[in-house]
Amino acid sequence: MSIVLQAVTKRFTSGGTPAVSGVSFEAPRGAITAVLGPSGAGKSTVLRIVAGLEDPDTGRVLIDGEDCASVPVQKRGVGLVFQHYALFRHMTVRENVAFGLSVRRVPRKEIAARVAQLLQLVQLEQLADRYPAQLSGGQRQRIAFARALAVRPRVLLLDEPFGALDAAVRRELREWLEQLHAGMGVTTLLVTHDQEEALELAEHVVLMFDGRIAQSGPPEEVYDHPASPAVASFLGGANLLTAPVFSGRADFNFGALAVAAPGWARDGELLQVFVRPHDLKLRRVRSVQHGLAVARVERLKRIGGYVRISLALPGGEMLTVESPRAEIDELGVAVGEPVQVDLRAARPFTENTTH
Amino acid sequence: MTFGEPLATLPSLRHSGVTEPAPVRWLLVSAAAAFLGLFVLVPLLAVFATALRAGLGRYAGAILHPDARSAIRLTLLTAAIVVPVNALFGIAAGWAIANFRFRGKRLLITFIDLPFSVSPVIAGLALVLIFGRQGWLGGWLDARQIRIVFAVPGVVLATAFVTVPYVAREVLAVVEAQGNDEETAALTLGAGGWQILSRITLPKMRWGLLYGIALCNARAMGEFGAVSVVSGHVRGETITLPLHAQILYDQYDAVGAFAVASLLALLALFTLVTKKYVESRSRPA
């Protein structure tokens, strides 16, 4: 039951900027695919188009190889879970879960059995006769999952499902969803702005900015090989450095670091490289060595188990470093003092982004 | 220092939100109570006191008088037509505005409020202009022996115009506050339009709808201005309760006028009780 989008474009105002522009990707069967991006990137519109709640202006949606253009929402076999639960507030938990079956005129006995089975699956049998207002946010969302799954949807669509929950419940529900999914293997599309959620849950990530796909692939691949500075910054955060290319290489920070230019970078062009905050290693200032730059500590913030440090390079560029607290304490880094920073983890992007 | 003052009052602000000293608070509360008593409670009591001044027999006599009975009948008939029509309109407007994007949506919302801002007398005059003997449709209607102005249809139309916003506004408030996620969820679960309306949207609207109907009913029975213009005051035919009260009063029959008015006052009290009931039921658990 894969989901395939082919060149999907959607405008809400004629002539305006499209909310979704030329989006193509495949959500493989049985996997969780995350559509990730900042708010306003068009992620939810993609989800609503797959659900059939919006019609694309151009392009096609295929569920399990079948073109969905003429299939109405009710017949698409999608289970939708909303950020704000959208439980039927005048119905009990049991009635909520049963709703999809009862509108299909499934026999009562069968409904009762299926509802019991699902409440057991989400571990909330004891709340069957409560109303949604009497449940916590996490419980409500689990009921919403049960309601969506009751009709045995072909695909599960999750629209920021944990967005309204506090951090601890969110983490708990994420693990719960992972187990639930492992047990059922229903093809799932997860829309989220939370990169951690996407990296943790998804086997496939589709990163969107401004209605377009910026990059897609397995989470590690997108994380390790970002196509552009925007991708690197959104996914994991990144320090960016820029230098001109000369005879096949770019020299950064007065020659402290040399990076071999990728094939597309010609002499005289600017090459941008990135390095993750946790990939930067600090050490005391010692001998000059390739890849090591001397920088001054501008700010230092201890955040639980790690320390975030802002460094100023001699050229004025700022670097953000994240290191385990023990490491920094042992090193004895202090604000205003110089420190040597290892830049050798810096890599160019996979696409030419300076144009 | 300008800095010191707000900082000093900050903790008390956070706790109760009230910073005024006790005498000021007492003064404000009594002013509000006195105002309500003088302008709402005293007149209401005066209605009942005057109505019963000459004894229960006189009171019953005024209400059971054939003219009064005819007025009660017409008022009930008008409400029985206007309230269901407006309830249906309110449901349709709430449903459409909550669930669909369409051209002129804001305009529709604005137009629903129009009768609030138009003087009822103007509304009545507008009906006379359209349906009256000299009006746009007057000749056409006359030729077919159809009477609207100075007849029951005019009374019903005038009342309907004035009461358009009541149900629709209450329903819209509920619908806009709750959004349409529930309807969307029902749709993805396979429900059709009628199933969504009967099982999701109507139950969701029910308290707003009930309160809107109560308000609409009270206004439909109590409307004076618009009805007065189109009624023509045909005795026993086009006189509603408020018009009847006015006529009795003009004939120096204060007791009779207030006896009839007390029926409308009772209606107001009934509406208030409905409102309190609805509020207690619709508050989220």
pLDDT tens digits along A101-156 = 999 999 999 999 999 999 999 999 999 999 999 999 999 999 999 999 999 999 99
Could you give the 3-state DSSP secondary structure of residue A58? strand
Q: What pLDDT is attached to residue A267?
A: 84
Q: What pLDDT is attached to residue B17?
A: 63
Could you give the 3-state DSSP secondary structure of residue A300? strand
Q: Which distant-in-sequence residues (6+ apart) come within 8 Å of A74 by Cβ?
A: B187, B188, B190, B191, B192
Partner-chain residue, chosen from B186, B190, B284, that has the shortest CB–CB distance to A104: B190
Q: What pLDDT is attached to residue B18?
A: 64
Question: Do B182 and A84 lie within an 8 Å CB cutoff?
Answer: no
Q: What is the pTM of this model?
A: 0.80
Partner-chain residue, chosen from B181, B191, B284, that has the shortest CB–CB distance to A86: B181
Question: Do B188 and A133 lie within an 8 Å CB cutoff?
Answer: no
Q: Give A-chain residues touching B192 at CB under 8 angstroms.
A: 74, 103
The CATH class for the domain spanning B55-282 reads mainly alpha
Could you give the 3-state DSSP secondary structure of residue B220? helix
Q: How confident is the model at residue A243 (pLDDT cuts 50, 70, 90)?
A: confident
- As a whole number of angstroms, the distance between CA B130 and CA B138 comes to 7
Q: Give me the mean pLDDT over the B216-238 stretch.
A: 91
- As a whole number of angstroms, the distance between CA A353 and CA A108 comes to 60
Q: What pLDDT is attached to residue A354?
A: 53
Q: What pLDDT is attached to residue B87?
A: 94
Question: Do A99 and B199 lie within an 8 Å CB cutoff?
Answer: yes
> Best of B99, B102, B188 to disrupt the A interface by mutation (most A CBs within 10 Å)?
B188
Structural domain spans, chain B: 1-51, 55-282
Tell me the pLDDT tens digit for each residue of A180-226.
Answer: 999 888 999 999 999 989 999 999 999 999 999 999 999 999 998 99
Q: Give me the mean pLDDT over the B170-194 stretch.
A: 89
Q: Give me the mean pLDDT over the B263-282 stretch.
A: 84
Which chain A residue shows the shortest CA-CA distance from B180?
A86
Percent share of chain A, pLDDT over 90 = 66
Q: Which distant-in-sequence residues (6+ apart) come within 8 Å of A287 by Cβ?
A: none
Tell me the pLDDT tens digit for each residue of B113-146.
Answer: 899 899 999 999 999 999 988 889 988 888 888 8
Q: Which residues of B touch A (CB under 8 A)?
A: 181-182, 184-192, 195, 199-200, 203-204, 284-285
Question: Do A86 and B188 lie within an 8 Å CB cutoff?
Answer: no
Where helices occur in B16-151 by DSSP H, the ranges are 22-36, 42-51, 56-64, 66-99, 105-117, 120-131, 138-143
pLDDT at B4 over 70: no
Closest to A155 in 3D by CA, of A2, A355, A336: A2
Q: How far is CA A238 from CA A81, A178, A275, in A?
A: 32, 28, 6
Q: What pLDDT is attached to residue B9?
A: 41
Could you give the 3-state DSSP secondary structure of residue B21? coil
Q: Give B-chain residues touching A53 at CB under 8 angstroms.
A: 184, 187-188
Higher pLDDT, B10 or A331: A331
Radius of gyration of chain B (CA): 24
Assess contact for B213 and B83: CB atoms under 8 A. yes
Q: Within its chain, how far is the Cα of A226 from the centroid? A: 13
Q: Give me the mean pLDDT over the A268-296 stretch.
A: 87
Higher pLDDT, A253 or A228: A228
Q: Give A-chain residues touching B186 at CB under 8 angstroms.
A: 88, 99, 103
Q: What is the mean pLDDT of chain B?
A: 87
Q: What pLDDT is attached to residue A198?
A: 93
Q: Give me the mean pLDDT over the A252-261 stretch.
A: 80
Partner-chain residue, chosen from B184, B190, B203, that has the shortest CB–CB distance to A86: B184
Q: Give A-chain residues touching B197 at CB under 8 angstroms.
A: none
Question: Do A88 and B190 lie within an 8 Å CB cutoff?
Answer: no
What DSSP state is assigned to residue B197? Answer: I
Question: Do A99 and B192 lie within an 8 Å CB cutoff?
Answer: no
Tell me the pLDDT tens digit for each residue of B81-115.
Answer: 999 999 999 999 888 887 777 888 888 888 888 99
Tell me the pLDDT tens digit for each residue of B147-167.
Answer: 888 999 999 999 999 999 999
Q: What is the mean pLDDT of chain A?
A: 91
Q: How far is CA A236 from CA A197, A223, A232, in A?
A: 12, 7, 6
Strand A212-217: give its sheet, edge to edge: A78-81, A155-159, A187-192, A32-36, A204-209, A212-217
Tell me the pLDDT tens digit for each residue of B261-272.
Answer: 999 999 888 888
Tell me the pLDDT tens digit for each residue of A156-192.
Answer: 999 999 988 998 999 999 999 999 999 888 999 999 9
Question: Do A88 and B182 lie within an 8 Å CB cutoff?
Answer: yes
Q: Sign (positive/negative) of CA torsion B45, B50, B55, B57?
A: negative
B238-244 contacts, C-beta under 8 A, 24 or more apart? B238/B74, B238/B150, B238/B151, B238/B152, B238/B154, B238/B155, B239/B67, B239/B70, B239/B71, B239/B74, B240/B71, B240/B74, B240/B75, B240/B78, B240/B155, B241/B71, B241/B72, B241/B75, B243/B71, B244/B67, B244/B68, B244/B71
Q: Which distant-in-sequence residues (6+ apart) come within 8 Å of A135 by Cβ?
A: A93, A127, A143
Tell me the pLDDT tens digit for each residue of A29-45.
Answer: 999 999 999 988 999 99
> Best of A63, A74, A135 to disrupt the B interface by mutation (most B CBs within 10 Å)?
A74
Q: Which two tokens stand for residue B248?
A: 């009795």
Tell me the pLDDT tens digit for each residue of B6-63.
Answer: 443 444 444 556 677 888 889 999 999 999 999 989 998 999 999 998 889 999 999 9
Which chain A residue shows the shortest CA-CA distance from B201?
A88
